[in-house]
C-alpha cells in the first residue's frame, strides 16, 4: 500500500484568468484521475494535506509536514509514501525529511513544472513515476528521494537547477541515483550509508542567509544578528569574502552564534585554502564552519535542524 500525500504546488494548479495566473485547484483524487495507469503500480490511499504554493512553506508548516510523514510511517506502515510538492522549495523539504525521518520506508517527493492547462503537462508522468519508485523493493532503505522527469535523486543532494525547464532538478555535488519510467525503476547507486538522524522537537532556530557582495562592509550582517540564532554566509568562489565584512562575522562568533560558510558557485564546495584577510582559511581558523557538499539552501536547513536539536552542524557530506 502506498500513501499519496498531496500538499499543493504547480502540479495542483491551473490558470485562472480572473486571478491573472496559476492558482491551486486540484486535490489528490483529481490528480490521480489525470494519471492513468497509477492504479496498476500499487494499491494506494489518498490524503489531501494541503494545496500550498511552495513559497508558502514556512518552518512551522514544514515541520508539520515532516511530522505527518513520520506518523504515517509509524501508524500505517505503508510500502512507500509519495509527497507532491511545489518545486521552488522541494530542496528544503527533501533535505529536512532526509535528515529527520528514518530511511526504511521510501518517501518520494515530486511535483510539476507545468499546470494541467499547459500543453505537455508533466504532472501525471512525475506522479506515476514517483509511485513506481515508492513501490519498488530496491527503494527501501534509501530514505527520501526526489523523482522528476524520469530521474531519481537522493533527497539530501537534490536541488532545483533551472527555473522553468521540465528537467529542473539536479544534484550539483553528486548525480542522479537512478531512473524511473514505464520500463521500470533502476538504481545506479548503492543504498547509502546514513548518518545519524538529527530530530528536534520543532524548527525553532532562526538562521539568516546573507550573500556577500563586492566591497561588503558587514552592515547587513550586523542588522541580521540580533534577530537570528545562526548565519549562513554566501561567499565567493571557494569561500572568500571582502575584508570589510570580517569584523561583523567576528561579532556573530563572539556572541556564540554559529556561522557556516557556503559558496555562491552552483558547483563545487568551500575549500578553505586562502589565508589573506577574508580568505576561507582565515575564516575557518576563527571558527567559521565550512558548509561541506551542500547547496546554500541545504546548508541553511542543516543549521536550522542542528540548532533546533541542540546538535553540532554536520560538516561532512
Q: Grid coordinates in use for 92?
A: 528544503
Residue among 32, 281, 297 nearest 160 (CA):
297
Catalytic residue among 10, 115, 128, 263: 10
Q: How many CB atoms lie within 10 A of CB 311?
A: 14
Q: Where are the beta strands (DSSP E) in 66-188?
A: 80-84, 107-110, 144-148, 151-154, 159-160, 169-170, 178-181, 184-187
Residue among 200, 253, 254 nearest 231 (CA):
253
Element (DSSP H or E) covering residue 253: helix 246-254
**How big, in percent rounded to 5, are the helix, strand and coil portions of the chain?**
35, 25, 45
Read off the DSSP letter of residue 119: T
Phi, psi of 72, deg, nearest 5: -60, -45
Read off the DSSP letter of residue 236: B
What is the DSSP annotation of 72-102?
HHHHH--SEEEEE--GGGHHHHHHHHHHHS-
Q: Grid coordinates in use for 164?
A: 522553468
CB 245 within 8 A of CB 235: no
Active site residue 10: yes
CB 245 within 8 A of CB 222: no
Q: Which residues are catalytic?
A: 10
Amino acid at each position: 500500500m502506498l500513501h499519496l500525500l498531496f500538499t499543493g504546488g504547480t502540479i495542483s494548479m491551473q490558470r485562472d484568468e480572473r486571478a491573472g495566473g496559476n492558482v491551486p485547484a486540484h486535490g489528490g483524487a483529481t490528480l490521480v484521475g489525470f494519471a492513468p495507469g497509477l492504479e496498476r503500480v500499487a494499491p494506494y490511499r489518498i490524503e489531501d494535506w494541503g494545496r500550498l504554493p511552495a513559497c508558502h512553506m514556512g518552518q512551522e508548516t514544514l515541520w508539520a509536514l515532516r511530522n505527518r510523514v513520520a506518523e504515517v510511517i509509524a501508524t500505517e506502515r505503508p510500502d512507500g509514501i509519495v509527497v507532491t510538492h511545489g518545486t521552488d522549495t522541494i530542496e528544503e523539504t527533501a533535505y529536512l525529511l532526509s535528515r529527520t525521518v528514518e530511511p526504511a520506508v521510501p518517501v518520494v517527493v515530486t511535483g510539476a513544472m507545468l499546470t494541467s492547462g499547459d500543453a505537455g503537462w508533466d504532472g501525471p508522468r512525475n506522479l506515476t513515476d514517483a509511485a513506481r519508485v515508492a513501490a519498488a523493493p530496491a527503494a527501501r532503505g534509501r530514505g527520501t528521494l526526489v523523482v522528476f522527469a524520469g530521474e531519481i535523486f537522493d533527497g539530501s543532494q537534490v536541488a532545483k537547477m533551472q527555473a522553468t525547464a521540465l528537467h529542473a532538478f539536479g544534484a550539483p555535488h553528486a548525480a542522479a541515483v537512478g531512473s524511473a519510467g514505464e520500463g521500470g525503476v533502476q538504481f545506479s547507486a548503492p543504498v547509502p550509508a546514513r548518518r545519524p538522524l538529527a530530530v528536534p522537537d520543532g524548527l525553532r532556530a532562526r538562521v539568516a542567509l546573507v550573500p556577500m557582495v563586492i566591497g561588503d562592509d558587514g552592515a547587513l550582517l550586523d542588522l541580521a544578528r540580533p534577530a537570528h540564532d545562526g548565519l549562513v554566509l554566501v561567499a565567493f568562489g571557494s569561500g572568500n569574502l571582502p575584508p570589510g565584512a570580517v569584523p561583523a562575522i567576528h561579532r556573530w562568533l563572539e556572541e556564540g552564534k554559529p556561522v557556516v560558510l557556503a559558496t555562491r558557485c552552483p558547483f563545487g564546495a568551500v575549500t578553505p585554502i586562502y589565508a589573506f584577510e577574508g580568505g576561507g582559511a582565515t575564516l575557518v581558523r576563527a571558527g567559521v564552519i565550512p558548509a561541506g557538499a551542500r547547496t546554500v539552501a541545504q546548508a541553511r536547513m542543516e543549521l536550522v535542524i542542528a540548532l533546533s536539536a541542540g546538535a553540532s552542524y554536520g560538516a561532512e557530506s
